Structure formats: C-alpha cells, structure tokens
Amino acid sequence: MSATATGATTTTTPDTSDAPYFKSYASIHIHEDMIRDEARTATYRRAIFALGDRIRGKAVCDVGAGTGILSVFCAQAGARKVYAIEASDMAKQARLIVMENNVQDTVQVIHGRVEDVDLPEKVDVIVSEWMGYFLFYESMFESVLLARDRWLNKDTGLMLPSAATLYMCPVHEPYLAEEKVAFWSTFPKERYGISMASLGTFAKQCLHEEVAIDPIEPEQCLAWPVQAVSIDCNTLTLAELRSISGTFAFRAIVSNEMHAIAAWFDVEFPCFSDETDGQAVAQPESSDRETAQTTARKRVRLEQTEQGTKEPIVLSTSPDAPPTHWRQTLFRLLDPVPIQQDDIIAGSVRILPDEQYKRFLGVQLSLKHKGNSILENKHFRLTDGSLAQ
C-alpha cells in the first residue's frame, strides 16, 4: 500500500489478464487519436465548464484519466480537488501535463486501478470517458460504476456523462463484400494463373462472422435509427450492466438491399450554466435528414445545442454528426435482404461480457423481416480483430 500527501492510497493487486489492456493505454498513439477527436474532447470541455457552481470549489474524480486532459479542464473550471486515477503507465505522463498547465495544486494523479484506490473524501463529480466501440467495448464502465458507488455523494453528486443511448439502423453496404469476393475471383487468376474463386464464399462468411468498426454515410441508412438500449449512469447497477438487452423495430424509408445492421451511440451531459471556456464549437451544415432525426429522438445534439439553452449537452457518434474515432459498428448479414419501403424489420440485442476475455464483448443479435428470421440469436464477438479492419 502507498499513501499520498492528501491521504489517497493505492494497493497493488496483480491482474495479469488486464496487462495487455493497460499496456495499450500506455502508448501515445491511442491518446493522440482521442485528443485529435475534436467532437469528443471539445464536448467534454464544454460539459465540464457548463457545470458552473456544481464544480467550482468541489471535489472531482476522473476515472481512467489517461493524459489528464479532462482533469485539467476540471481544474480550469474551478474544482477544488481533482483525483485523476489512471491504471496505465500513462499516469507518469499525466503528471507532466498537470505540471505543464500549473494545476498541480489541484490535480492529484493516482497511478492505480479504481479497484485498488482509496480516496480520502467523497466527491461531487465523477467524470470519465469510458465509452468504447459499440458503447460498451473494453468494459471500462464497470470501474466507473464502482467509483460512483464508493465515492460519489449520494444526494448531490453528478455523473459525466449522465446517460447513454445505443442506436441501431439497417444499412445498405455492399461494397466490402463485393470487393472481397471479386478479389478471389480475379486477382490470383490474373496475376498467377491460379483459380481461387472458391475462396469467395469463405471470405463472405468471414465478413459475416466479424464485427467491423467502419464509418458509414447517412445515405446508406434504410430507416430512421431507433433506440435499442438506454442507460442512466446515475442508477445502473453492475448486475444490470453485465446483462444488457433491448428490442427494436425499423420501418424502411427506402427500397434497397439490406447488408448490415449499424450501431452507434449518444451520451448526455447535464448543463447548469451558460458558462463556456470561450472556445467556439464548429457548426456543421444542417440537412433535412439531420433535422428530422433530431426531432424524432427529441434530443439535442452537440452541433445544434446553442450556448445558454440549459438543455443536456450531447456527444453523438451518429453518421450524420461530426466524425469521431468511434465511427460506427457494423454487423454484416451473410446475404443481402431485399427491403421495400415501409417494410418492418424487427429484432433484439443482448450485450454480454466475453467469455474468454473481459475487455472483449459478446453481442447476441436476432433479426426478422416479414416474419422470416434473418438472424436467430446470432453471437458476435467484438475483439481487437474488429478494430484492425
């Protein structure tokens, strides 16, 4: 056990299964991707400053602090104390960032896992950028909930973000499958005189089995997206997190072939103040699709939220929102399904921890069209291989 000057302690508990996960977050490359993601980082900055008196003079816990940028934002917004907990060796670099920005009297970087840390006081705000691909990949949210249950003031404490919603949508996406099948049909024959067209079927099967993290265009959507899962970060329990499920039904708005189900998420932040850090947020061009989708969801997106509305601040990873490093998640069908306008596509999703490695994710998907089963409890795994495509 080690103690700090302010009383926070850490107890080292070996967990070799998590070593690759924390090693990946000690690399500069993943943090560069996150800092470059302006939609992500600028939204967090705006949300922190929008807390106003709810953060000034208060204690904050930053779970999974990484480079410490969110902790620095909290200090600049007037927090009395910020406990920046980071399990990877990036904690050493975070201390340098804190010193570089002259907030070392406010921000205390704690090198350790939430499970091994003891704070000397309750906190008023917990901030964390815990979201992974398909919202839940990497299972970091468990640590956030543990921090909430241990340290957040029960009556007045705030969670940033405070809510999250997972959306799903049928999409037209023939390009990659066609490219893979065409490759095996033509390239080996043309270059080497060897026919390998039979591998096209296997390549298509592999695409169906793998979850892809790819950007899509709004025009590829065959229906308005629907809410499949919604969570309240203030009340969700660990038991509920470990078995999340939802149902959905789409009504097609165009006639085309359906090749995949796409998924993305929004997260919400509470807004109590008109204050900002003085930084303008870029406003993308509006579109009829964006306006209709926003109205249907009754949500306020980052790009549409004007200063001073006191509406929740929203970070969206939708294909018609500013691009983010999360992109969209694609579950490809084995064969395309012809869809006519006004057809109903219904299904269910269940999200479970992976049986082999807790940072991976299991997704069980069922899908029906005109009463015919397209997917029946099809099990997908979201792994590191999904990110390499």
Q: Which residues are catalytic?
A: 129, 138
Quickly count: other Cβ atoms within 10 Å of residue 19's Cβ: 10
C-alpha pair distances (Å), 103 with each of 29, 85, 160, 243, 357: 25, 16, 21, 40, 37
What is the rounded CA–CA span in Å between residue 330 and residue 266?
16
Phi-psi region of 195 (alpha: psi -120 to 50; beta: other; left: phi over 0): beta
Quickly count: other Cβ atoms within 10 Å of residue 282's Cβ: 10
- The separation between CA 51 and the C-alpha centre of its own chain, rounded to angstroms, equals 22
What's the residue count for the chain? 389
Render the burial of 88-101: b for 16+ CB within 10 Å, e for the rest.
bebbebbbebbeeb
Half-sphere exposure at residue 285, Cβ-oriented, CA atoms within 13 angstroms = 2
C-alpha pair distances (Å), 70 with each of 23, 43, 46, 301: 21, 11, 11, 21
